[in-house]
Chain A
Amino acid sequence: MDPKLTEVSQQFDRFKAAMTRKDYNTCTQLLSQLKVLLTGFRSLPPLFEDTPNAIRELTLARDIYEHAVLLSVKVEDQDAFERDFFQLKPYYTDAGKRLPPSPNEYMILGLNLLRLLVQNRIAEFHTELELLSSTALENPCIKHAVELEQSFMEGAYNRVLSAKQNVPNETYGYFMDLLAKTVRDEIAGCSEKAYDYLSIKDAGQMLLFTSDQELLEYVKEEHPEWEMKDGFVFFQKAKDSAPCKEIPSLQLINQTLSYARELERIV
């Protein structure tokens, strides 16, 4: 076996051992060394040279990046997740036909969908979705994310939150927690438009706070324009309801003049 390949796989074994020990600092260090070592292989993207060990190198590299993605979830680093995911993606799309399918593929793709949902990048969410085959859409991990998005768009936030109980994989927990935060912001935004007022108790329940104290802090930080009075939250102030009765004369003059100018040009 190629000595370089042996070195990488030994290093990778050490990395995996550290991961099971939950020693994430060592993991991060080992990972950056691994990534440097991977640049030595010419069979990996973007070169895709057909070397004799290509298949083995590609599989190993894919494995490493998959672990890197999982590690980034464990250390709760979204930027690293995005970076690692994009490095991993060519192994699924461009090298997918040459390698045996990875058991983690759908789980990781589902994680990525969830991340896009959490960050409210819905356009990218759908772009990614288009790339998946119909069999992939049947996979529980992917389906989970797709259903979440639907409930999210509909406004059925309860369903989003209850989905937290039946996550298909334990790594999903981190993003589901983040999603709860996104949902809270959404509910707050909807409430201020939909209700005139709410009792503090109801508001707390809706925004998923366990105590009134938390609610007060949240309102102070995120929505200082809400008014708290006599055990009620009043949203009225946030609405600018008074319709403008004034005639926008300047704008009208401008428009009429431009019509005159254009008409003159025609005649």
Chain B
Amino acid sequence: MTQDVEMKDKENPSNSLSSPFTPSTLHHLKEIASLMETGAHAREVRRIMRAVRLTMALRRKLKAPVLSAFLNFALAPGSEAHSRLLSYLPKEDEHEMEVDTASSGAPAPAKHPLPELEIYCYLLVLIFLIDKKRYNEAKACSSASIARLKNMNRRTVDVLAARLYFYYSLCYELTGDLAEIRGNLLALHRIATLRHDELGQETLLNLLLRNYLHYNLYDQAEKLRSKAPRFEAHSNQQFCRYLFYLGKIRTIQLEYTDAKESLLQAARKAPVAALGFRVQCNKWAIIVRLLLGEIPERTVFMQKGMEKALRPYFELTNAVRIGDLELFKSVAEKFSSTFSSDRTNNLIVRLRHNVIRTGLRNISISYSRISLADVAKKLRLDSANPVADAESIVSKAIRDGAIDATVDHANGWMVSKETGDIYSTNEPQLAFNSRIAFCLNMHNEAVRALRFPPNSHKEKESAEKRRERQQQEQELAKHIAEEDDDEF
């Protein structure tokens, strides 16, 4: 049965492709549609995923006449979705469109379209509208599709739905009305949870976090994040985003160690093509590392394509490294517009205290004994009572473990302690242990992540099947790269 449909679909293009517009795009679209149909009948989610991936490769070639031809092919003419979707497309080439309806409308099977196909058409039109910057139509189209989705409960639709959610939120963000859809997204997340649609949950959770963070609502974001169900990530892209948002939330809430971990992981996991995303991750990661008292290596700032964007952060790092308050202030002022557009201004204000710490550490290493008045002078503390300030700052640094020293109040000086031989302690053993544990853990995770084809040990696959599978794998590899490109 499935094969029949496929055959018929494949014949269609050759008949109808005499029309004046690019034949290959429509042809591809129809192939994707047939792939989706087989996927839907066999309930194979993977096929649908592949179809979506193939679509993204076509994204730049989409044009209004091609789309309307495809709509005529895939949806029953006169159905609600058909007329609604057509109304979103620009009308300038009406004439061509009619020609096309005449040629391809006739051979199209007059059957009730699959819900997958209908949703897929919504997705196509939506992507087209966003690419053409017709945001108001895109908003209307996405809202209609979301309304339709709420009444559909099919696992094979989930993949498409997740994509639709993403574009739904994107077009509202582009017009600056993110707050409007927050309630709707929450409702969708609830529905996805009830239906065990994990990909949908993942996508929606990220969209919600993005929504909250857009308005700096870190409190709400953290509350949602900590209460939402967690499971193993289905999509690498969504997982990257989640890590990035998590890192941001933790940075604001002063959990720098955890924040650093998630931000670095997000930067590392992100695909190479997603340059903007990686730059953002790096910016935040640099600040978090500075706040932790670490100095990021120079190579971080020299990554390909990022030198220019990370320049302000490089100078900032330099100021912190030297421990010079004046330089730090001038850098912060010089790039204040960059920092405020990155929304890192408040974090940089927090850094002031790290600059003092680094300066103090340098002093403590260079001198075995120094008067507090000199400390104040070197740190350039401009206050009414510099010695008293220096004394309390030094004592706080000692308590926090930043420097190893004692203060002699009667004489007004700071005495640095001799640094002991680290190899006489358990420190090296602990470091060794944590590294070994990391490697072993990595190996175990890698083993666990290996995926085996189902039933491969039971039945030997036929030659034909193997060929099909290999072809699929090749395509998968090819398109994963393209998908990365598209998603960010």
Contact = CB atoms under 8 A, between A and B. Distances in A.
B392 A187 contact: yes
A193 B219 contact: no
A11 interface: no
B396 A154 contact: yes
B364 to A, nearest CB: 12
Nearest to A122: B254
Of B346, B352, B425, the most chain A CB neighbours within 10 A belong to B346
A126 interface: yes
B392 A158 contact: yes
A198 B352 contact: no
B340 A134 contact: yes
Contact of B253 (A123, A146, A154): A123
Interface in B424-475: 424-426, 429, 433, 436, 440, 443-444
B346 A190 contact: no
B433 to A, nearest CB: 6
Contacts of A146: 349
Interface string A243-259: 11000100010010001
Interface in B340-366: 340, 345-346, 349-350, 352-353, 356
Contact-size category for B: 35 or more
Contact of A150 (B352, B385, B425): B352
Interface string B207-232: 00000000011110000000000000
Interface in A133-167: 134, 146, 150, 153-159, 162
A129 B346 contact: yes
B396 A202 contact: no
A194 B395 contact: yes
Contacts of B397: 155
Contact of B216 (A130, A153, A202): A130
A127 B223 CA distance: 12
Nearest to A155: B396
Contacts of A186: 396
Nearest to B216: A130
B235 interface: no
A162 B395 contact: no
Interface string B472-485: 00000000000000
Given A194-B394, A194-B398, A194-B406, A131 B252 contact: no
B322 interface: no
B253 A126 contact: yes
A15 B408 CA distance: 56
Nearest to B414: A194
A186 B218 CA distance: 28
A243 B255 CA distance: 30
B393 interface: yes
B407 interface: yes
Contact of B399 (A123, A124, A193, A244): A193
Interface string B369-406: 00000000000010111001100111111110000011
B370 to A, nearest CB: 15
Contact of B393 (A126, A154, A162): A154
B254 A126 contact: yes
B443 A199 contact: no
Contacts of A124: 219, 253
B217 A195 contact: no
A156 B406 CA distance: 17
B399 A194 contact: yes
B417 to A, nearest CB: 10
A198 B399 contact: no
A154 B352 contact: yes
B392 A156 contact: yes
Nearest to A125: B254
B409 interface: yes
B410 interface: yes
B433 A255 contact: yes
Nearest to A196: B406
Nearest to B420: A243
B276 to A, nearest CB: 22
Given A155-B396, A195-B407, A243-B425, A262 B384 contact: no
Nearest to B355: A154
Interface string A188-216: 01110111101100100000000000000
B399 A190 contact: yes
B392 A127 contact: no
Contact of B346 (A130, A155, A255): A130
A76 B349 CA distance: 31
A36 interface: no
B210 to A, nearest CB: 15
B395 A266 contact: no
Contact of B392 (A131, A190, A199, A259): A190
A218 B385 CA distance: 26
Nearest to A187: B392
A122 B253 CA distance: 8
B395 A155 contact: yes
Given A126-B253, A150-B353, A191 B383 contact: no
A193 B398 contact: yes
Contacts of B346: 126, 129-130
Given A191-B395, A195-B406, A196-B406, A159 B217 contact: no
A170 B238 CA distance: 50
Given A150-B353, A190-B398, A252 B429 contact: yes
A156 B393 contact: yes
A232 to B, nearest CB: 10
A155 B254 CA distance: 17
A127 B395 contact: no
Given A123-B253, A262-B440, A153 B406 contact: no
27 contacts: A126-B346, A127-B218, A131-B216, A146-B349, A150-B353, A153-B350, A154-B353, A155-B392, A155-B395, A156-B389, A157-B392, A158-B389, A159-B383, A159-B389, A162-B384, A187-B392, A187-B395, A189-B399, A190-B398, A193-B398, A194-B407, A196-B406, A243-B425, A255-B433, A262-B440, A262-B443, A266-B443
Which 8 residue pairs across A and B have the least CB separation, nearest first? Answer: A155-B396, A194-B395, A190-B395, A123-B253, A193-B399, A155-B393, A194-B398, A130-B216
Given A156-B383, A194-B398, A266-B443, 19 more contacts: A123-B255, A126-B252, A126-B350, A130-B218, A130-B346, A134-B340, A154-B396, A158-B392, A159-B383, A162-B384, A186-B396, A187-B395, A190-B396, A190-B398, A193-B399, A195-B406, A195-B408, A248-B426, A255-B433
